[in-house]
């Protein structure tokens, strides 16, 4: 059990740092934007990655090992951030309900589409 927790913690640490760097890079690249935020970028990238990783791990029969704990639970759990999405969605909706709903709908739709794309990409590796 301790070993599993260490894999999750290590993956979470890496994912959290990369989430921060990706958010900073996104803002530098496109500037402040109410729709494509750093949170949206990490959530979309994370959805693509979880689709790829889950597909590869499932095909290789590795869904219950430490690779899954490190990559899916730790790294991608630390990399994506639903709580920040909720806060940003609320803040945008406070300014404009219509923009807030578009912002939230955009992230949910692109997140699901990104998981699908990741699964399709993951199939290339199996």
Q: For residues 83-115, b (16+ Cβ closer than 10 Å) or e, as one string?
A: ebbeebbeebbeeeeeebeebbeebeebbeebb
Rg (CA), the chain: 16
Please check if 81 is assigned to a binding site.
no
For residue range 77-98, list pLDDT tens digits in order: 899 878 778 878 898 999 999 9
Please check if 38 is assigned to a binding site.
no
For residue range 51-87, list pLDDT tens digits in order: 898 888 888 877 678 888 999 889 998 998 787 788 7
Domain segments of the chain as ranges: 2-124
Residues 6+ apart with CB under 8 A from 46: 76, 79, 80
Token readout for 77 is 């759990």
């Amino acid at each position: 059990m301790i070993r599993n927790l260490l894999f999750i913690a290590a993956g979470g640490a890496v994912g959290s740092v990369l989430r921060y760097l990706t958010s900073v890079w996104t803002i530098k690249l496109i500037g402040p934007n109410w729709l494509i935020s750093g949170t949206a970028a990490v959530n979309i990238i994370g959805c693509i990655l979880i689709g790829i990783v889950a597909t590869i791990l499932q095909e290789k029969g590795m869904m219950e090992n430490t690779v899954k704990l490190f990559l899916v639970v730790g790294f991608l759990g630390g990399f994506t951030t639903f709580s920040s999405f909720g806060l940003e969605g609320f803040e945008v909706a406070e300014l404009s309900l219509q923009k807030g709903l578009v912002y939230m709908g955009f992230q949910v739709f692109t997140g699901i589409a990104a998981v699908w794309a990741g699964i399709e990409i993951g199939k290339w590796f199996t």
